[in-house]
Amino acid sequence: MTPLRQRMLQDMSIRNLAENTQRSYLQQVSSFARYFDCSPESMGPEKVREYQVHLVEDCKLAPSSISIAVSALRFLYKVTLKQPWAPDEIPMPKKPFKLPVILSPEEVMRFLESVHSMKHRAILMAAYAAGLRVSEATHLKVTDIDSQRMMLRVEQGKFAKDRYVMLSPRLLEELRSYWRAGRPKTWLFPGDIPGSPISRHAVGLACQKAHRCSGIKKPITPHSLRHAFATHLLERGVDVRRIQLLMGHRSLATTTRYLKVATSTICATTSPLDLLPDIGPTQSKAPESTHF
């Protein structure tokens, strides 16, 4: 490990950046150095700009992928190298605003029925029942289940914050059946490596398999279940602020985007066309049949 890599890793560690973020930042800086075959210490804003052009024009990366590279380089030059030029001026690509594709309750049920492994069904059911991120679901411990208070403890979720979420009676029943069959010790969902939890990759593969079996045309990832959790709560009239707390969102604005996909708020709104008086028929003859 080079001294620069070691220092950057230490800088990220003392700021308590998430492990996934640290790993991603190191990969991005390594790719930057390999592209020029030169240490980042000897490069400046012009090389950063050239690299961004390469990512856009040659690699054809999406704005979200380029944003990760920019964030890594900003951290490197601002925090670790403390360059006199302004790293914050490295342009961040504008991300297109996209609404998540939401599964209906019926589709969630159909999807979960297509998960044949008891372990995989339990973890995916937990992601939907409690609105968990996949990293939060994989790191659940047996001791995080509080059946007395019917609560689920999420330890050190995103932004290094603990929170409690409701423990669904139906989920508790599923988890008890799963526990009796496998008797996990520390991690609720242990992985193939002894002493380690199940990997995000393994959950993703299980999700893909169930998606194929379900025949659902909409795209489905483990995070789709978290989106469905928030949207279905909104459609049942749960307060946005309460949903924010359950999901562990730092900003209420992140939670309110689900208002844009909640059918109870969109479809229940009357169109102004329906408020107009009756409109007379057109002069042309109406068609005999319709495809609608």
CA distances, 263 to each of 89, 129, 194, 219, 226 (Å): 40, 20, 44, 19, 17
pLDDT at 1 over 90: no
The residue ranking higher by pLDDT, 56 or 96, is: 56
For the stretch 83-107, pLDDT in tens is 988 888 899 988 777 778 999 999 9
Gap between the terminal Cα atoms of the chain: 64
Three-state DSSP class for residue 30: helix
Q: What is the pLDDT of residue 276?
A: 77
> Mean of the per-residue pLDDT values for the chain?
89
Q: What is the pLDDT of residue 57?
A: 94
pLDDT above 70 covers a percentage of the chain that reads: 92
Taking Cα atoms as reference points, which of 142, 147, 149 lies closest to residue 178? 142
Is residue 204 within 8 Å of 213, Cβ to Cβ? no
Q: What is the pLDDT of residue 269?
A: 63
Per-residue pLDDT band for 289 (boundaries 50, 70, 90) equals low
CATH number listed for the domain at residues 105-266: 1.10.443.10
For the stretch 140-151, pLDDT in tens is 999 999 999 999
Report the pLDDT averaged over residues 59-83.
94
User: pTM for the whole thing?
Assistant: 0.71
Is residue 111 within 8 Å of 216, Cβ to Cβ? yes
For the stretch 159-202, pLDDT in tens is 667 899 999 999 999 999 999 998 999 999 999 999 999 999 99
CATH number listed for the domain at residues 3-89: 1.10.150.130
Per-residue pLDDT band for 227 (boundaries 50, 70, 90) equals very high
Q: What is the pLDDT of residue 287?
A: 58
Phi and psi of 197, rounded to 5°? -75, 170
Give the pairing type, strands 151-154 and 145-146: antiparallel
Three-state DSSP class for residue 6: helix
pLDDT at 108 over 70: yes
Per-residue pLDDT band for 67 (boundaries 50, 70, 90) equals very high
Q: What is the pLDDT of residue 264?
A: 62
Which of 14-18, 61-65, 204-208 is modeled with the greatest confidence? 204-208
SS3 content of the chain, % helix, strand, coil (to 5): 60, 5, 35
**Annotated domain spans of the chain:** 3-89, 105-266
Per-residue pLDDT band for 265 (boundaries 50, 70, 90) equals low
Extract the tokens encoding 261.
């996909």
Residue type, 17: L
Name the residues annotated as catalytic.
Answer: 133, 158, 223, 226, 249, 258
Is residue 114 within 8 Å of 75, Cβ to Cβ? no
Per-residue pLDDT band for 270 (boundaries 50, 70, 90) equals low
The residue ranking higher by pLDDT, 1 or 167, is: 167
pLDDT at 43 over 70: yes
How far is 247 from 225, CA to CA, in rounded Å? 12
Q: What is the pLDDT of residue 291?
A: 58
